[in-house]
């Protein structure tokens, strides 16, 4: 009878009980926040969502605003997860340590349920929490995409893609007009470059886009290839957007809020579909390699190199007892998925940003063309681009460094503490997420003279004047991007081919760069005029 009275009391006073519990929860939440040990400056969070309402969609922009308000190190809450932002080069010493042993920042992320759901925390290299597996994957990548033979052979494939898009542009000039949105073109051109470099097979994405624009000359492409390519391209870009979504949005929100829940399902279904498609590509390629004569050299694309690393086809097997086995299917799948995701989006946005600044500053464009002439001779002829010649383009690399300093495609990136450490006098416990605000560091007035000014010449001086860890285009330390040499060469080749084949100018030189943050910094639009130069090919 007493139990019935209690139940009746609860039902009768349910509203008051719920309100009391909510107040108690809020009190406990803020008590814990205000009494936390060794607090770092930062905005006051809300229960459940933390500071997500302040961060909004544009994480890079808000990171700068918070830096102005709270200084070079501050903390925010993403749901119940504490995030520490670092915005100064001197504070990056431990984060950018190259030591593998006793490295507090060896991990990219703390244990994260969203990354677990995406299957990213146990494979690949970006978010792999298993350091032994990560070391093995990283060693394989050093053996393949960082090898001079891959970088040398890949130039031929990239030049083929450039030959193709040049043809499409020339046809457009003959029958259409000379104004294009390079932001759209770059997406398809770079997708072709990444697809060809990774698999050795064309995606036909540039041809598909060209056909969609032109009412005159069209490339013949089988319909099934068109559909497959477009779906794969869309899926890869959706996967890029989904990573930050799963990383930041807490499970309680992703699983229970109707609108957010539908987005999660869309992203998860896309990731599962992408896994299946990559597995099909890998299995088909493995069969082709098995049927290929053992005494003949296979093509030097990334997929072939990953499949054959440490097999009888690998003439330079990796030494060291921990690295002598081949990669398994899941390791290969997740590695090439990361290459597609990271390589395509960052490269396509980087070339847009670079072209914008080059065209906005005609004196920089003139210097680039003079350097191309000094290395390749008469530019009325098609440049003979080689591995060695790309290393001679010192000013070109200075331009790339300066653009990516001001406009990094990855303005914010992640690390996590694997044991207790200290930064700037603040004790940081094991399992704390740390974000590096690249823009905050790249534009810091204590690191650079006139940091807001576009000045590639600053990189032509002795490197001693550059503050350590003040330029983080490809990250730093043990987690530095393994594809950085490949990426820089891709950007150099694209610049050479664009500026030597065409006269290019901005439609509106006074218009600011149109970009927004969505996992990476996206160039939304880049309208340019193109005019063919008279070159004897």
Instruction: Please enumerate, by residue number, every residue annotated as part of a binding site for heme.
Output: 481
530 φ, ψ (degrees, to nearest 5): -125, 145
DSSP state of 297: P
Give the CA count within 13 Å in the CB-facing half-sphere of 129: 15
Torsion of Cα atoms, 91 then 97 then 103 then 106, to 10°: 90
DSSP string, 107-130: BSSS--HHHHHHT-SSSSSSS---
Contact between residue 299 and residue 290 where contact means Cβ atoms under 8 Å apart: no
Which runs of E-coded beta strand occur in 45-151? 73-78, 81-86
For residue 304 the two structure tokens come to 């072939």
Collapse the DSSP code of 348 into the 3-class scheme (helix H, G, I; strand E, B; otherwise coil) and give the result: helix
- Cα angle 506, 508, 514; round to 5: 90
Q: How many residues does the chain have?
A: 537
DSSP state of 92: G
DSSP state of 537: -
Which residue in this structure is represented by tokens 């009980």? 17
Contact between residue 135 and residue 100 where contact means Cβ atoms under 8 Å apart: yes
- Cα angle 298, 302, 307; round to 5: 65
DSSP string, 301-321: -HHHHHHHTTSTT-TTPPPST
DSSP state of 435: E
- Cα angle 9, 12, 13; round to 5: 85
Collapse the DSSP code of 84 into the 3-class scheme (helix H, G, I; strand E, B; otherwise coil) and give the result: strand
Contact between residue 493 and residue 159 where contact means Cβ atoms under 8 Å apart: yes
How far apart, in whole angstroms, are the C-alpha atoms of residue 150 and residue 158? 12
Binding residues: 481
Which runs of E-coded beta strand occur in 193-315? none
Nearest to 251 by CA among 48, 398, 28: 48
First to last CA, the chain: 97
Nearest to 409 by CA among 210, 107, 186, 259: 186
How far apart, in whole angstroms, are the C-alpha atoms of residue 229 and residue 246? 26
């Amino acid at each position: 009878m007493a139990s019935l009275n209690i139940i009746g009391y609860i039902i009768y006073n349910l509203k008051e009980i719920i309100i009391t519990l909510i107040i108690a929860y809020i009190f406990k939440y803020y008590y814990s926040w205000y009494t936390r040990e060794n607090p770092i400056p930062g905005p006051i969070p809300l229960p459940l969502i933390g500071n997500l309402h302040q961060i909004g969609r544009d994480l890079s922009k808000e990171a700068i605003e918070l830096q102005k308000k709270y200084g070079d190190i501050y903390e925010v809450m993403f749901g119940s997860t504490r995030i520490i932002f670092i915005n100064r080069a001197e504070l990056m010493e431990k984060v950018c340590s190259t030591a593998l042993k006793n490295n507090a920042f060896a991990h990219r992320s703390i244990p994260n349920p969203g990354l677990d759901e995406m299957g990213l925390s146990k494979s690949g290299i970006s978010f792999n929490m298993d350091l032994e597996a990560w070391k093995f994957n990283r060693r394989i990548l050093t053996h393949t995409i960082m090898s001079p033979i891959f970088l040398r052979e890949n130039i031929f494939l990239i030049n083929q893609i450039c030959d193709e898009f040049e043809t499409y542009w020339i046809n457009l000039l003959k029958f259409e007009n000379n104004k294009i949105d390079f932001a759209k073109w770059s997406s398809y051109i770079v997708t072709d470059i990444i697809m060809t470099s990774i698999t050795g097979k064309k995606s036909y994405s540039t041809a598909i886009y060209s056909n969609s624009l032109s009412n005159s000359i069209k490339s013949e492409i089988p319909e099934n290839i068109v559909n497959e390519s477009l779906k794969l391209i869309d899926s890869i870009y959706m996967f890029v957007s989904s990573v930050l979504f799963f990383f930041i949005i807490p499970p309680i929100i992703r699983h229970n809020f109707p609108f957010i829940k539908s987005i999660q399902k869309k992203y998860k279904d896309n990731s599962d579909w992408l896994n299946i498609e990559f597995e099909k590509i890998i299995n088909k390629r493995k069969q082709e390699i098995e049927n290929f004569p053992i005494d003949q050299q296979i093509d030097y694309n990334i997929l072939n190199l990953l499949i054959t690393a440490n097999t009888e086809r690998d003439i330079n097997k990796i030494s060291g007892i921990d690295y002598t086995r081949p990669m398994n299917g899941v390791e290969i799948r997740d590695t090439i998925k990361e290459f597609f995701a990271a390589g395509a989006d960052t490269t396509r946005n980087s070339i847009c940003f670079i072209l914008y600044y080059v065209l906005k500053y005609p004196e920089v464009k003139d210097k680039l063309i003079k350097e191309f002439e000094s290395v390749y001779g008469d530019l009325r002829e098609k440049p003979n681009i080689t591995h060695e010649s790309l290393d001679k383009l010192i000013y070109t690399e200075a331009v790339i460094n300066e653009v990516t300093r001001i406009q990094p495609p990855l303005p914010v990136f992640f690390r996590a503490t694997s044991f207790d450490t200290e930064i700037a006098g603040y004790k940081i416990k094991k399992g704390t997420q740390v974000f590096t605000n690249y823009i905050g560091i790249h534009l810091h007035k204590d690191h650079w003279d006139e940091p807001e000014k576009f000045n590639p010449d600053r990189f032509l001086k002795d490197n001693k004047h550059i503050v350590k860890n003040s330029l983080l285009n490809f990250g730093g330390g043990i987690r530095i991007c393994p594809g950085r040499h490949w990426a820089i060469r891709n950007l150099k080749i694209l610049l050479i081919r664009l500026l030597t084949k065409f006269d290019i100018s901005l439609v509106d030189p006074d218009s600011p760069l149109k970009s927004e943050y969505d996992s990476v910094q996206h160039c939304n639009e880049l309208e340019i005029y193109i005019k063919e130069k008279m070159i004897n090919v």
